[in-house]
Structures are given as structure tokens and as C-alpha cells.
Amino acid sequence: MISGMSASQMAQQLVSVERAAKDGYYANKKTNYTAQKDAYDLLEKSLKEMTKDLESLDKDAFNAKSGSISDEDIAKVNVGADAPAGDYTLVVDQLAKASQLSASFAGEDAPLPTSGILEIEANGETMTIDFSVVNASGDGKVSGLVSYINNNSGDTGVQASLLRKGDGSVELMLTSKETGTANEIKVTQDDSGFGFTTMVAAQDAKFSLNGVSITSSTNYVENVIDGISLELTEAHAAGESSTITVGSDTESTSKAVNDFVDTFNTLMSQLSSLTQSMGSTLEDDSSDSDSEDSEDDKKSETKKISEDQIGILKGDTSIRMLKSRLQQEVFQPSANGMRLSDIGIELDRSGKLTVDDKKLEEALKSNSSAVEAMFTGDTGYIKRMDNIVDPYSEREGYIDQKQKNIGNNIERLEEDISRYDRQMTKTYERYLAQFTAMEQYVTSMQSTAGLFY
């Protein structure tokens, strides 16, 4: 054409100019919908994280127990939430031991008999070895007997092994896999036999707690007292004892309280950033407390707000109301009259909760039941916070509905974009036909004009 462009190029340029404004409108609308959906997704995660922290406080935190022993060489102490607090005097008289027998042989290749029966009894079960069957070929050796016993010991719980004495001779050892007198190994042979002797006699663990004598077939004694398990590792010398102390685990409780405060602060920062007016700066939602827990780091990574999300929900009065109700709730006293400030939780100048760990620990040690009552129960902070959060975070709740509505809006928008694309395709085809006809006309006129020169 005279312009230097083809008909298709001219048609494409006109369509691009014609659709530029509408394309910008659709792009902005889709970006806004997507940002809103991401914002609600972010809030949903934070609300569920807060619910999880509240459940942790309600179920486990105030029931946690810690246990210690005055001499850690004697035993290890494991305690559960149902362990009764108090001091317990432990005296370990003897540890449980596994039965062990041995028989001497000239070497690993010492021959086995071709007749006779060997019976190994332990744990109420008997293993019978008939050498006329096992060594019918007559080429059986002691090393082979070890393998045979280990492969066929079954429920007897006996393990065979060789002890090499350095001069070529060996000891065939039979060792019970379980400790205690009930697992003592007994060997009988119908001829002169191998001459098994006792290396270690089976014995039960014997110890006492606060003067009560206890016997156990193993050195790990589970639930010796409700919620208290012991792993005995050494016997006391005559006249000695150790003290086991069980008490409330204020460290676990303090951590749970701090986790709740961190999550609350993150949620409030998000609510402020997502609902604030345009032109405001992005709030820092990072926690003031230092944590080496990778799970905490992972949680914080999922809660960052991007610059384009600031104020994206400023028109949502329900979300602003959520923020307001949560802020008001932390200032209200509990049913027993205590406030969060009584245990060291205060609101700082930036509007975030802070924890005075020393004051919190003192409150937990001096009156843990009152602190527990403040958080738990039908009128505690946990229930009251749940009542505020649940309508937003529950299935088919407010945020679920907003996410579905936005999803529907995006679908309708994409349908509008598809229809508009089809419309613009037809417009392009119309322009193309017009410019093609014009191009053909100009070419025809130029050919006709050439006849006159």
C-alpha cells in the first residue's frame, strides 16, 4: 500500500488502538480480584494459625509437666501431663540383666556331632536341634550352628554368637534378647553335651519409690506412676538414693503464650495493612521475639504482605470489625477478674502485644491455676477469641464466601474477556477485508494509469 504497510498490518494497528482502553480495564480488574483473593487466602491461613495456637493453650500448655532427677547417671525420667507433681525418692538395688550362657570350642571350624539332641529353652518356648538331621552330612561346624540357631530361634528370643579368644579357640554364646528372669536361657542335651556354663545370670530390676519395692523384667519401666516412666541405667551404692522432682512445665506454657502473642501480632498487622487507606506504608509484621524453630520461620514466610496488597480490603467493613473486636477483647478482664497485663502481656506504642517473660513466669509459678482459668473455660480468653474468629475462618464462613464470590467474579470477567476477544477478532477481519479491497483497488488504478504513459 501507499503507507508502506500491508492490509493485515493496518488492520492490526487499528484494532490495537481500539481495544487498548478496554484491555487495560480488564487487566486492572483481574489484578484487583486476584489481589483480593490472595489477601483473603492470607487472612484465612493466619486465622487458622491463631485457632491452632489457641487450641494448644487450651489443651496442652497448662497441663505440661517437667521431671528431673538429682543423679542423671542413675535413671532418665519421662513425664506426661497426667503425672502428679511432687518429690519421689528412688533407690535402685539392681538392674535387669539378660541371660547369657557359653560353651568352649577349639575353633570356629570345630566339628558338630552327627547325633544327639540339643534343646534351648527361653521365654516359655523351646528350640530343638536334632544333630542327626541338622548335621546328617557330618561336615557341620560350630560357625554353622550359630547361623542355624539365629535363623530358627523363633519366639525363644535367643541370639547365638561367637567370642574369639585370640588363641584360635572360641566361646559359643547364647544371649537372651530380653532381660529378666522370665527370659532365662536353659540348655539340655541328651549326651555329655557342649558343657554350657552361665556367663550372666538373668535378673529383674529391683528398685523402690518412696519406700515401695518394685520389680520389673526390664530397665525401662513405663507408667510406674501415672504419667511417670523411668529408664534405669545404674544401681545405687549401698545407703544412697536419688530424688525425682515432678512439677509444672512453665517453660512449655510460656512458649505457648508467646506463640499466641506472636500470631496475634501478625494477624493484627495484616488486618491493618489490608484495610488501611492508600498512601500508607506497609506495616512490619515480623515478630519481636527471636526463634530458632524452623516451623516458626516457615509460618512467618507464609504471612508476608506485598506492596500491592496494601488497602486491598479497605472497603470490607466486616474485616475492619474483626480487627476492632479482637483489639477490644484483649483489654477485657477474664471471668476471674484477671487481665493479660497481670501476667506481663501489654500493648506497646505500635499497637502490638508484648510479653514480659519474667512477669509471666512469676505468675505461672505463684498462681498457675488462676492463669489457666483466665485463658481456659467457657468465659476464658481462648473461648472468647474463638467466638470472634470462628465465623470468619470456619467452613462456609465469611472468608469462604468471599473467596467463592471473588472466584465467580474472576470467571465472569474471563468470560467477558473471551467475548471481547471474539468481538475484536471480527473487527480485525472487517478491517482486513476493507483494507484488502482498498489495496486491490489502488493496485488496479495504478495498472490502469500505466496504460497512458
Could you state, in order of their start, the residue ranges of all structural domains in the chain? 7-62+251-403, 65-95+204-248, 100-200
pLDDT band at residue 368, thresholds of 50, 70 and 90? confident
What tens digit of pLDDT does each residue of 178-198 get?
999 999 999 999 876 799 999
Interacting residues of 47 by C-beta distance below 8 A, sequence separation 6+: 267, 389, 392, 393, 399
Q: How many CB atoms lie within 10 A of CB 249?
A: 20
pLDDT band at residue 322, thresholds of 50, 70 and 90? very high
Q: How many CB atoms lie within 10 A of CB 288?
A: 14
pLDDT of residue 441: 77
Mean of the per-residue pLDDT values for the chain?
88
> Is a pLDDT exceeding 80 seen at residue 280?
no
∠ Cα 63 66 68 (to 5°): 160
Q: How far is 431 from 411, CA to CA, in rounded Å?
A: 30
What's the burial of 417, exposed, middle or buried (CB within 10 Å: 0-12/13-18/19+)?
Answer: middle
pLDDT band at residue 248, thresholds of 50, 70 and 90? confident
Q: How far is 342 from 353, CA to CA, in rounded Å?
A: 13
Name the amino acid, one letter, at 274: L
What tens digit of pLDDT does each residue of 118-167 get?
999 998 899 999 999 999 999 999 999 999 999 987 778 899 999 999 99
Kind and range of the H or E run holding 343? none
∠ Cα 359 361 366 (to 5°): 95
Q: How far is 242 from 91, CA to CA, in rounded Å?
A: 7
Q: How far is 244 from 293, CA to CA, in rounded Å?
A: 30
User: What letters, b where the CB count within 10 A reaches 16 and e where it falls short, cover 342-361?
Assistant: bbbbeeeeeebbebeeeebb
Query: Which carries the bigger pLDDT value, residue 378 or residue 212?
Result: 212
pLDDT of residue 253: 87
pLDDT of residue 140: 93
What's the burial of 221, exposed, middle or buried (CB within 10 Å: 0-12/13-18/19+)?
Answer: buried
Q: How far is 340 from 355, CA to CA, in rounded Å?
A: 10
Q: How many CB atoms lie within 10 A of CB 208?
A: 15
DSSP, residue by residue, 379-396 = TSHHHHHHHHHHHHHSTT
> Is a pLDDT exceeding 70 seen at residue 291?
no
Q: Do residues 108 and 162 make contact, with C-beta atoms less than 8 angstroms apart?
A: yes
pLDDT band at residue 315, thresholds of 50, 70 and 90? confident
pLDDT of residue 285: 46
Distance in angstroms between the alpha carbons of the first and the last residue of the chain: 21
Q: Which of 304, 245, 251 is CA-nearest to residue 72?
A: 245
pLDDT of residue 380: 86
Q: How far is 319 from 313, CA to CA, in rounded Å?
A: 8
Contacts 24+ apart (CB under 8 A), 103-107: 103/171, 103/172, 103/194, 103/195, 103/196, 103/197, 104/169, 104/170, 104/171, 104/172, 104/195, 105/142, 105/169, 105/170, 105/171, 105/172, 105/194, 106/168, 106/169, 107/142, 107/168, 107/169, 107/170
What letter would DSSP give residue 60?
T
pTM over 0.85: no
241: three-class secondary structure by DSSP: coil
pLDDT of residue 414: 95
Alpha-carbon distance values, 393 to 17, 50, 243, 430 (Å): 45, 10, 48, 52
> Is a pLDDT exceeding 60 seen at residue 209?
yes
Q: Which of 382, 61, 85, 381 is CA-nearest to residue 250?
A: 61
Nine-digit cell at 339? 487481665
pLDDT of residue 237: 96
| Average pLDDT estimate for 366-383 | 86
> Is a pLDDT exceeding 50 seen at residue 286?
no
What tens digit of pLDDT does each residue of 57-72 get?
776 678 788 999 999 9
Nine-digit cell at 299? 509460618
Q: Which of 407, 403, 341 is CA-nearest to residue 371?
A: 341
What tens digit of pLDDT does each residue of 82-116 get?
899 899 999 999 999 999 999 999 999 999 999 99
What tens digit of pLDDT does each residue of 410-423 get?
999 999 999 999 99
DSSP, residue by residue, 207-220 = EEETTEEEEESSSE
Residues of the chain above pLDDT 90, percent: 57
pLDDT band at residue 55, thresholds of 50, 70 and 90? confident
